[in-house]
C-alpha cells in the first residue's frame, strides 16, 4: 500500500504468508513479514485501517486545543526533530512543544532532550525513556 504522498503502510494489513483470519485484528496488526505480501483482499480491511487513522488524526488535532504542554517522543536525527518541531509550532501556533528524541546524537536545548533507549542492548528501554521524559517535565516546571 502506497498512498498519494508515497508513504507505505503494509503493516496495517494482514500478510498472505501468515496464518490468521480477519477476526484476529489485533494479531494481524502486530505482524509484518519483511518481504511478505499483503493479502489480495486487502480492501476488505481498509475500513478498519481508515478508522484507525481517522482516530489518530483527530487526536492529533485535539492536542492543539489542549491547555497542556505537548511532549513528542520520536526516533529521528536531530536535524529532522528540529524541522518537525518547527512544523508543529507553526501548525498548533504555540511554543510549548517539547521533544524527547531517541538518537545517538548528543543535543539538548530548552525544548529538546535526547536519549538512547538501546544503549544497554535491549529495545526501547522504558527506564531510559522515562528519565528523558522526566527531564522534559522538569524543563516545563521551570518555565
Position 114 pLDDT exceeds 70: yes
Domain-by-domain residue ranges, the chain? 1-65, 67-142
pLDDT, position 35: 57
pLDDT, position 70: 95
pLDDT band for position 8 (cuts 50, 70, 90): low
Its sign, for the CA torsion 40, 43, 44, 47, is positive
CA distance 96 to 49: 31
Burial class (CB in 10 A: 0-12, 13-18, 19+), 14: buried
Q: Collect all residues with Cβ–Cβ distance below 8 Å to 106 and sequence separation of at least 6.
A: 114
pLDDT tens string 43-82 = 898 899 899 999 999 999 998 899 999 999 999 999 999 9
CA distance 60 to 80: 19
- How many H helices and E strands in the chain? 4, 3
Torsion of CA 120, 126, 128, 134, to 10 degrees: -170
Q: Could you tell me what percent of the chain has a pLDDT over 70?
A: 79
The residue whose grid cell reads 509484518 is 32
Other beta carbons less than 10 A from residue 39's beta carbon: 17
pLDDT tens string 73-109 = 999 999 999 999 999 999 999 999 999 999 999 998 9
The residue whose grid cell reads 499483503 is 38
Q: What is the pTM of this model?
A: 0.72
Closest CA to 49 of 14, 19, 20: 14
Position 28 pLDDT exceeds 50: no
CA distance 102 to 50: 28
Amino acid at each position: 500500500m502506497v498512498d498519494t504522498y508515497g508513504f507505505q503502510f503494509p503493516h496495517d494489513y494482514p500478510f498472505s504468508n501468515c496464518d490468521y483470519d480477519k477476526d484476529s485484528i489485533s494479531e494481524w496488526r502486530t505482524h509484518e513479514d519483511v518481504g511478505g505480501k499483503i493479502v489480495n483482499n486487502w480492501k476488505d480491511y481498509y475500513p478498519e485501517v481508515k478508522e484507525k487513522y481517522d482516530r489518530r488524526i483527530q487526536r492529533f488535532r485535539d492536542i492543539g486545543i489542549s491547555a497542556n504542554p505537548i511532549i513528542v517522543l520520536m526516533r529521528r536525527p536531530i536535524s529532522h526533530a528540529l524541522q518537525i518541531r518547527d512544523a508543529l509550532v507553526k501548525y498548533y501556533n504555540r511554543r510549548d512543544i517539547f521533544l524527547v528524541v531517541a538518537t545517538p546524537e548528543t543535543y539538548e536545548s530548552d525544548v529538546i532532550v535526547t536519549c538512547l533507549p538501546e544503549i544497554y542492548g535491549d529495545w526501547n528501554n522504558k527506564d531510559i525513556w522515562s528519565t528523558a521524559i522526566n527531564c522534559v517535565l522538569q524543563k516545563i516546571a521551570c518555565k
